[in-house]
Structure 1
Amino acid sequence: MTVQTVMVVGAGQMGAGIAQVHAKAGFLVYLHDIDEERVENGLNTIEKHLTRQVEKGRMEEIEKTKTLEQIVRSTNLENASKADLVIEAVVENMEVKKKLFTELDQIAPPETILATNTSSLPITEIAAVTSRPKQVIGMHFMNPVPVMKLVEIIRGLATTDEVFQTVKLTAESLGKTAVEVNDFPGFVSNRILLPMINEAIYAVHEGVAEPEAIDEVMKLGMNHPMGPLTLADFIGLDTCLYIMETLHDGLGDDKYRPCPLLRKYVKAGWHGKKTGRGIYSYDR
């Protein structure tokens, strides 16, 4: 199967990035969300990123124009009937995703592949609500999507080799490196990353060191480009907590227990950079 038309459901930070890289690679992209304002915000995010690329000399103005012309606004889920590949990038909540995949399964043509950008939830469980579990797959992009090279490709229990190869080739056509991962909570990236972030928050909670010191140790001592606490604020502490809870529930091991300080910050509404306060304070 050859993918020519892609629908991205969810025009937030991840969805906009996914739409951008597909449009830049020449795919016709439907960028979908529940209302015009959200779609417009997603398009504005894409245009700002492309404009910065032009200003830095990394892209010609004509390429920016062509990329934007490849994107079609969508607030009608029926547009899934025109797609070869649908990539879901909505909130990281199993019930929301199941409801969406049930609807997409009824709208999209039988041969259409349904992919989820989930960062931690089981692909097999999402696939089970559809009549096409063989054509459901995980396509986990890293944030920010236009910059990060990795895509984790996660097979569900029933995902066929043909679907896997189609999605792998599609990801590679974006200039990404596609890595095959089995369907376990957190996959590879978040099963390793989030416990490290959680442990860094424990170090703050227990008074081992100040957040700035912990980040400096990991940057200068371990050669990480960004400290784990700064990264946690960038990801969103609410997202970090959700993934830790998914790991804890799915694997049943107390080493994945979320730090009480993480829970406290999330309950306070301190979700990181997006709210102006997380581990650090930000000038909004």
Structure 2
Amino acid sequence: MATDHQQCPVAVIGAGVMGTAIATTVLGSGLPVVLLDVGQAELDRAERTIEIQLRHARMMDALPSGRAPGRLVTTTSSSALAGARAVVEAVVEHEATKVGVLTDVAGIVDADTPLISNTSGIPIDTLADPLPRPQQLIGTHFMNPAYLIDLVEVIRGRRTDEATVTAVTELLAALNRRAVVVRDSPGFVTSRLLHPMLNDAARLVDEDVATAEDVDRLMVGCLGHRTGPLRTADLIGLDNLVDSLAALYERTGEQRYRPCEQLLAKVHDGHLGQKSGRGFYDYREALS
């Protein structure tokens, strides 16, 4: 008999930047979460981060009123995913890693449980190929910070069935999120447009045309960008951005997606953005 998914937790795989933010979003809407990662240290760090993000979301009036936060369970055991309402995969932006995780999960959860890959650009059909039930797979692209941004790009693969689309859009509605459903392609809509702009912004710094601060100041003041492209890149994580650009370049062959030297150098030096304390900006005082 199929599980009553309405009463079950949402499972999130990956306690990194996006997985933690997605878990915060679900918990803040009053729904329970099972958060899975391979290491206890990562889970402990995620729990502390989630507490901070929930406070931030309350301060920004971004949580539904009158709802107590959902219950968080952290685990390193994939058996805890059984019976989940939906499973959100939020591991690194590497195709083989994502496929491995999704294949394992497909063998644990019910046949009608949506498998959601939170990818910034890998085509859903590519990830679905090895799965026993490709109709279960759908993509989401939560923007960071997910607990503050209420619009979510949803990617329907060629084999994604209507029941999966309905289940995921209903789940997002329960999270007070608006869904925009798009067709599958490398990078979808947001990454195809945003990531080459971030790449070009970094290239301008590399060419000594302008400082990171001036690039962002011009984009905010003249063109209405909310934070500026390079602060956005730091928030995404420069390693994540490089991985996404490389995947787009591999699939499209378009030079605008080839990661520029400035981004590659920062990743090589471990300057990954906010999460590491340094990127285009210095965050070490805020982290101390």
Give the aligned partner of residue 43 of structure 2. 39
Distance 1:132 1:259, change over 3 A: same
**Alignment CA distance shift 1:204-1:33 (3 Å):** same
AA partner of residue 82 (structure 2): S
User: Which TM-score applies when normalising by structure 2?
Assistant: 0.89
Name the CA shift for 1:240/1:169 in 2 (closer, same or farther; >3 Å). Answer: same
Q: Does 2:151 match 1:150?
A: yes
- Aligned residue type for 1:67: P
Counterparts of 1:164-175 in structure 2 under 5 Å? 164-175=165-176
Cα RMSD (Å): 2.2
Deviation at 1:2, TM superposition (A): 5.4
Shift of 1:29: 1.8
Separation in structure 2 between the aligned mates of residue 16 and residue 212 of structure 1, nearest angstrom: 28
Residue number in structure 1 paired with 2:77:
76
Which TM-score applies when normalising by structure 1? 0.91
Q: How does 1:1-284 map to 2 (within 5 A)?
A: 3-5=6-8, 6-53=10-57, 63=67, 66-68=68-70, 70-284=71-285
CA contact (8 A) 1:121 1:186 kept: yes
State the AA in 2 paired with 1:15: G
CA displacement 1:25-64 (0-9 Å, x = unmatched): 333321111233322222222222223455677779985x
Of 41-50 and 223-232, more deviation after overlay is shown by: 41-50
Between the aligned residues of both structures, percent identity stands at 37
- Gaps in structure 1 of 5+ consecutive residues: none
CA 1:179–1:83 in 2, change beyond 3 Å: closer, same or farther?
same
Distance 1:154 1:124 in 2: 10
Equivalent residues of 2:120, 2:191 under 8 A apart: yes
Q: How many angstroms apart in 2 are the aligned matches of 1:233 and 1:28?
A: 30
Q: Describe the SS at the equivalent of 1:218.
A: helix
> 2:248 is paired with a residue of what secondary structure?
helix
Residue 182 of structure 1: CA displacement? 1.5
Whichever residue aligns with residue 245 of structure 2, its letter is M
Aligned residues: 281
Distance 1:58 1:101, change over 3 A: closer
2-structure distance, mates of 1:59, 1:123: 30
Show structure 2 runs of 5+ residues with no match: none
